[in-house]
Structure 1
Amino acid sequence: MKFSYVNPTLIHFGQGQIEAIATSIPQDQKVLVIYGGGSIKHNGVYDQVVAALSNHTWLEFSGVEPNPTVETLDKAVTIAKEENVDYILAVGGGSVIDGSKYVAAATKYDGNGWDILIGKHTVTEAVPLGAILTLPATGSESNSGAVITQKSTQTKLPFMASAVQPKFAVLDPDSMKTLPERQLINGIVDAWVHTCEQYLTMPTGAMIQDGYAETLLRNLLTLGAQYDDRDNNEWRSNLMWTANQALNGLIGTGVPHDWATHMIGHELTALYNVDHARSLSIVQPSLLRNQIEAKRAKLEQMGKNVFGLVYTDDLAERTIIEIENFYHSLNSPTELTEHGNDKASTIDAIIKQLEAHGMVALGEHQAITPDVSRKILEDAVK
């Protein structure tokens, strides 16, 4: 292990913390509030934001969709530039926060904002950004990454830049009270796979990172098992904090990462509008079986320390079954069953996109070529 680590995002956690934005954003800053489909106007969050910004000059932009598109976000960029916005406040889940990161970066760039996603422009400055989290899943509220879709080309790509890391984030579990069941389940699955992408690689002897990752995975197992009793502050608080910790940089510091499940899943989402988390649960079991020899030691460690399994020669295989069972308990799919009748054409389209986007050497060993990705997807067909 050799690393430098800091997470500069100030977290305001707990009930009633939305009022903290009143002092987190300087009063002389002109604020653009960005949110999604308007659910915050029905769960009390919007009213709390209005109250907290009563001494600020602010305007709003709504309509950021799940898997935010550059076509929508560029409209917010235009507003931010025309209105000389000083600060952006993202109010929503990972999609809204990711989209707001793009707006924050593109507002400081005179060219085509999509240049950020294709690596033509390196982000070195951005409008300061704060976040109010309403859907725990991605950890975007306290990291420097974002994933943006270009609808016209069905392209979904990530970018990372320290300049777009939120200055602060409000995590109030009360904001989750009115979330649809599917979104809550997606949050659990997304946090689970985020943890796995940084943990299920190869042994490194990183005791803190491994131990903390295993704690997060056990938390998610427990929260999944308690799902029917979810309507309480303790359950909501633990999911919100677990999902945050799964991707705030700590468990991935100084250890190898995978992210192949995400890269393949992104194409499934971009082409067929599959929920991000559901794309992950579809791809991951087949990917783990395909890469089982490279991942056997960590799968065995996970089986023992997360699922409580005893050692046998097939412990890694049994661990993958337990992961599938976890997804099934949440009614999250593990097979490619929802995306048209012609599965061969579906797989061809995904492989074509992976190649077009340079995703030709994925995984911690860069061993997942397009041919391997094809085999993973073929194995995911029911």
Structure 2
Amino acid sequence: MVALRLASFLDGATKTLDVAIYDLRLEASPSATILNSFQAAVKRGVAVRLIFNQDHAQTIPVPPPPEIDWAFVDQLRSAGVQIKPVPGVPDLMHHKYAVRDAGTADAALLTGSTNWTNDSWNREENVMFTVASGEIAADFAANFEGLWEKPIVAISGRISSPWSSLADGSRVRPYFCPGRSLKLVHAMSRSIASAEKRIRVCSPVITSGPILGTLAEVTAQNKIDVAGVYDATQMDEVQHQWASQAGAAWKIAAFHAITTAVRFGGKRSTPYAKGSVHDFMHAKVLVADDYVYAGSFNLSHSGESNAENVIQVESAEVADLCAAYIDRVAARYGGAPVKVA
């Protein structure tokens, strides 16, 4: 299903196709499907470029290191795809997006939390969004161009974008890290603090100070509907690290306060090891009333320094869909049961 959806997006490109992906490791049928789409794009004259993360220097595997399939990359290069690795040291190129035909009437974006690996598509919880907008595609194309010309994570993402209105009346605004990470984190925190109906949190880890602190305050007030899900294995690793840092004690207390006040789901994923199964709770979505934030960004302090992207969507319909998704995932891993109407 995921391979076919992704292939359908790639197959729609007529002029340009720019792909920024953290982890690229496909096998069997999915590999053949995506390779065929890249080959077909080049044959019909599309200019195709690919960047991906190379190397990883995190002290704990959050996010897990990529394991790039270099044989697959070589096949893409042989097919005519332009390739450029981006050094992931000291900070990660953590994007997972594709932009097609930027600058044309048919421009579109595909983004979300989903890496291009078999485990990402079959064993992990992930989300993907398609946005048909010339303005949004142009912002992502500019972000890609910056990394292509200067593949240095630390100087990327310095793009300030206004709201864009889509054909269905919803509004979308992108954020890029690290250049706009503080703006993103504070926008998320403001949305949490000002929510009047509901908050839904879906992230492998919750370690960003402003987000963690604001979420702790809101749950302590117990005035609105709050729920969510995280990866319990990864949060255990994070808390173990916090315990050795004198300045991080408040984060342990805040996280425990949140999960005591609210019944979050926590997935016990397989601990990371090279070559192991990757079955993490990997989706990254925040819902606050009718706002949705979704993309590659874990709600983490380290994510603020990585090359990341988030789209903020203002839409009651999209927010309802995302909240329902988060509730289903949370219920699967010990959260509150899904309410049946």
Which structure has the highest strand share of the two? 2
Given the two structures, how large is their TM-score scaled by the length of structure 2? Answer: 0.33
Which structure has the highest helix share of the two? 1
Which structure would you say has the larger RCO, counting Cα contacts within 8 Å and 6 or more residues apart?
A: 2
Q: Which structure would you say has the larger Rg?
A: 1
Given the two structures, how large is their TM-score scaled by the length of structure 1? Answer: 0.31
